[in-house]
């Protein structure tokens, strides 16, 4: 069983997936015999090339919680459209009481962000971005709002082709209306 675990970690490293623990929370439950401690961990994973995911793991020990969170995050990875080293356009996302604003930045700016937002955008492969977190700064909600904002991004090439198709469709409809009226 130990050998399987080591092979699993080696395959993750070879595929280029890296992980970052954003928050570890100690949860205490009072029971008849005293306090029962468990831990929850919020983990972000990404390949640095446009795929990123988040997961929360809960267990009696910290390493187990992190491992579970990493597994859940890998299962929930999503594709993020990255334009060069930045994002294509401004976006604002809300999750719970947190509002995260993401703006593209010129080359060489770097990542101007707090700890939780930085973890998500770095693992997504964004190198130049300006961010702002408003209202609640709960790290779990900040991570979820950031991922939601990245999912709201539209690929600029796809938008141009979609716009061209729309214009061509309108031209065709106007031509058929003109022919019908003649």
Cβ distance 81 to 138 under 8 Å? no
Domains recognised in the chain with CATH numbers: 2-78 (3.30.160.20), 83-155 (3.30.230.10)
* pTM, full prediction: 0.80
Q: What is the pLDDT of residue 6?
A: 34
Q: What pLDDT, in 10s, does the model give residues 10-60?
A: 444 447 899 999 999 999 999 999 999 999 999 999 999 999 999 999 999
Q: What pLDDT, in 10s, does the model give residues 123-182?
A: 999 999 999 999 999 999 999 999 999 999 988 777 667 677 777 777 777 777 777 776
Cβ distance 116 to 22 under 8 Å? yes
Q: What is the pLDDT of residue 83?
A: 84
- Return the structure tokens found at 84: 């060069």
- Report how far residue 165's alpha carbon sits from residue 175's, in angstroms, rounded to the nearest whole number: 15
Checking if the pLDDT of 9 tops 60, the result is no
Q: What is the pLDDT of residue 4?
A: 35
């Amino acid at each position: 069983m130990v050998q399987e675990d080591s092979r699993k970690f080696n395959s993750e490293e070879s595929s280029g997936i890296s992980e970052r623990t954003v928050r570890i929370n100690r949860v205490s439950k009072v029971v008849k015999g005293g306090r029962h401690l468990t831990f929850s961990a919020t983990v972000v994973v990404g390949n640095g090339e446009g795929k990123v995911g988040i997961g929360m793991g809960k267990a009696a020990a910290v390493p187990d919680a992190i491992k579970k969170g990493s597994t859940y995050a890998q299962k929930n990875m999503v594709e993020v459209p990255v334009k060069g080293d930045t994002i294509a356009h401004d976006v604002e996302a809300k999750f719970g009481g947190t509002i995260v604003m993401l703006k593209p930045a010129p080359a060489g700016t770097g990542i101007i962000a707090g700890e939780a937002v930085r973890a998500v955008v770095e693992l997504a492969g964004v190198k130049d971005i300006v961010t702002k977190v408003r209202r609640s700064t709960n790290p779990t909600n900040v991570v979820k709002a950031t991922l939601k904002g990245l999912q709201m991004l539209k690929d600029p090439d796809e938008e141009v082709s979609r716009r061209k198709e729309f214009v061509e469709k309108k031209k065709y409809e106007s031509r058929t209306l003109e022919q019908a009226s003649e």
